[in-house]
Amino acid sequence: MAIYFVRHATAGQRQGFLGADLSRPLDDHGRHQAEALARLLGNEPITRILSSRATRCTQTVGPLATAVGVDIEPCDDLTEGAPVNAAMALIHSLGTNTAVLCSHGDVIPETLRELMRDGMRITGARHCEKGSVWQFDFRGTDIVSGTYLGVPEVLEKNG
């Protein structure tokens, strides 16, 4: 079992968007990143995909959801500004599911810090760029390691 924690792909500037920030969509580059995410994780045995209600998050995991045939579950615990204990409880509630969670640049680093306090070891860099992926591996119900996989489109260019 693994959990993949994804930061939403690029969505243009917050200041230039006319409308509620939750409805800000991916830009062209972000749509490319979402397709790359589907290629990276499309063969994994994913049973659940949970996402912040923000349009940019649901659009980031949309191609992956189509590829693996799983519905996206909107989740307030992953929305920008959500308390870290909510994301932590969500992660621990997933049991033996291989899941993908899509969230924001505040929730992910805070959750990583909390998981490290709980004993998770980090492999690789400690970044959180837009479109990037973290993989959490379990032993039983304990998260034992977190690996930064990077941004899928960058991996494709370098791979």
Confidence of residue 21 (pLDDT cuts 50, 70, 90): low
Q: What mean pLDDT is predicted for residues 22-38?
A: 92
Collect contacts of 118-122 with beta carbons under 8 A, ≥24 apart. Answer: 118/143, 119/144, 120/144, 120/145, 120/146, 121/145, 121/146, 122/146, 122/147, 122/148
The model's pTM is: 0.91
Instruction: Look up tokens 């397709």; give the residue.
Output: 35
Residue 135: pLDDT over 60: yes
The continuous run of DSSP H or E covering 110 comes out as: helix 107-117
Q: Which domain holds residue 46?
A: 2-158
Confidence of residue 127 (pLDDT cuts 50, 70, 90): confident
Q: Which CATH number does the domain housing residue 129 bear?
A: 3.40.50.1240
> What are residue 137's DSSP bridge partners?
2, 145
The continuous run of DSSP H or E covering 148 comes out as: strand 142-150
Residue 140 is predicted with a pLDDT of 80
* Summary mean pLDDT of the chain: 90
Q: What mean pLDDT is predicted for residues 100-104?
A: 97
Number of domains the chain contains? 1
Q: What mean pLDDT is predicted for residues 85-91?
A: 94
